Structure 1
Amino acid sequence: MAAQRLAQACVKEIAEDAGVAKPTVYNHLSDKETLFRHTLEAAADAVLAENLAVVERLRDPGDDLCAALEDTGHRLLKVCGGERSSALRWLTYSQVGGFPDLIEAVQSRTSDRLTEALADRLARLVLAGRLRPCEPALAAQQFLALLTGPLEARSRLGTRKVTAPETRAVADAAVDTFLRAYGT
């Protein structure tokens, strides 16, 4: 079912789209608003799982830390610019009037937990002497900002899709800047 139809959809339509009986929806969820929240939370969890799998690459970056960070950055941008992440972002923002707490709920499940996982990996790189001593949480926030900031500006309001060469260039530039600040 299209996201635009949420407000107009009845529980019967939602059940049909889900391939279940209407009482099944009510047995598990009290109303369509609860269904909507659970759906967005599940989508946020899926995006987080994709991002955590990418960050896991930094557990063992190999001999070339720059290449590992570039690969991680590029893959994070692919997830961030992917269909699921984009739909989640747009749906969250479009429904914030009816669900004001939704942005915080989605952010805590996606960007906040991604930042924590990345901070953990960066802390391990600091302990291994691969990065200079720093506050890992701040370094993680800065790395993610270096990655996502330029792409948000380029794809403002979804007016155009950012190309793979652009994401690669942004990831490479982000890593270059990051290593100038945090490299040994």
Structure 2
Amino acid sequence: MTPSAPAPTRGRIDKRRAILDAAITVFARDGYAQASVDAIAAEARVAKPTIYNHLGGKENLFRTAMVEAAEESRRKVLATLEGFPTDPAGPEALRTDLNAIAWQLVDCMRSAAGWAMSRLLYAEAARFPDVYDAVQAEGGRQVNDALAGRLARLANAGHLEIPDPLRAARHFMALISADIPGLSALGTRAVADKVLRESIADGVDTFLRAFAKA
């Protein structure tokens, strides 16, 4: 077998990825009801039968694209959490470190693909409740569990007072991201970094007022 033999597999994977990325783009732009497989094929630059061969019809394409986009987003957030502070030098170092990790977490959320997925998730929740549950419940649980574990470590190191790490994790994510949907009009408007950093800092300050060790 020649070294180029695996190329068809790689090409198939790349084509599937192109179709899923195009599906998110078209569904977000046109809405599920108005989106067509023809439009997705054009966006992905593949033949329409290729989509059916890889992923079936429009409904299965929507489900697969949403779930896999959510999984990719979740992987990025979990990778970001690997850099969560463990034992800062003091209160100001803790504040600085939390602001830094909060900025990275928010940056994961505000990508064009991330916003497109979020808008679709809520817009089509009634039509696809299983997709909403899979993305929000399962994906949210994994991220919240991971964040809770890191907050618990800070509590064990004497930096925070957290009786319920899972609840504290939900509060942290909510506080650092609360202003973003409004500021960005659900991702349709650019937000200056300065404005975003101020919003994140307010969220971190509120979190520390509630949970910092006295």
Question: Under a length normalisation based on structure 1, what TM-score does the superposition of the two structures give?
Answer: 0.83
Q: Does 2:70 align with 1:52?
A: no
* Counterpart in the other structure of 1:174: 203
Deviations 1:14-70 (A, max 9, x none): 498374783x64455443211211111111011111111222211535432211111
- Mapped to 2, the partners of 1:29 and 1:125 lie a distance apart of 44
Q: Indicate the percent of aligned positions where both proteins have the same amino acid.
A: 33
- After superposition, the Cα gap between the structure-2 partners of 1:112 and 1:166, relative to the gap in structure 1 and judged at 3 Å, is farther
Q: Which moved more, 1:159-168 or 1:170-179?
A: 159-168
Q: Which residue of 2 aligns with 1:100?
A: 129
Task: Identify the residue that residue 151 of structure 1 maps to in structure 2.
Answer: 180
5+ residue gaps, structure 1, are none
> Residues 146-176 of structure 1: CA distance to partner in whole angstroms, max 9, x if unpaired?
1121223333455633221111111211111
Name which of 68, 75, 90 aligns with 1:42.
Answer: 68
Q: Report what 2:144 is aligned to.
A: 115
Q: How many residues get paired?
A: 183
Question: Within 2, Cα distance between the matches of 1:116 and 1:122?
Answer: 10
- 1:17 corresponds in structure 2 to 44
| Displacement after TM superposition at 1:108 (Å) | 2.6
Q: Is the 8 A contact 1:45 1:109 kept in 2?
A: no
1:33 aligns with 2:62: no
- Return the alpha-carbon distance in structure 2 between the equivalents of residues 139 and 10 of structure 1: 43
Q: Matches of 2:53 and 2:187 in 1, distance apart?
A: 38
Three-state SS of the structure 1 residue aligned to 2:128 is coil
Distance 1:18 1:93, change over 3 A: farther
In structure 2, do the counterparts of structure 1 residues 21 and 158 end up closer, same or farther at CA, with 3 Å as the change threshold?
closer
Q: Does residue 71 of the first structure (1) align with residue 100 of the second (2)?
A: yes
Contact map agreement 1:44 1:110 (CA 8 A) in 2? yes
8 Å contact kept, 1:77–1:147: yes
Task: For residue 134 of structure 1, give the secondary structure of its aligned residue in structure 2.
Answer: coil
State the superposition RMSD in angstroms: 2.7
Larger radius of gyration: 2
- Secondary structure of 1:101's match? helix
Distance 1:13 1:89, change over 3 A: closer
SS in 2 for 1:58: coil
Aligned CA distance change for structure 1 residues 109 and 47 (closer, same or farther; 3 Å)? farther
Question: Residue 85 of structure 1 aligns with which residue?
Answer: 114
Change (3 A) 1:35 1:121: same
**Distance in 2 between residues matched to 1:93 and 1:145, nearest whole Å:** 17
Structure 1: distance between partners of 2:95 and 2:43: 50
Q: 1:30 to 1:79 in 2, by over 3 A?
A: same
Superposition deviation, residue 89 in structure 1 = 0.6
The answer on whether the counterparts of 1:58 and 1:121 sit within 8 Å (CA) in structure 2 is yes
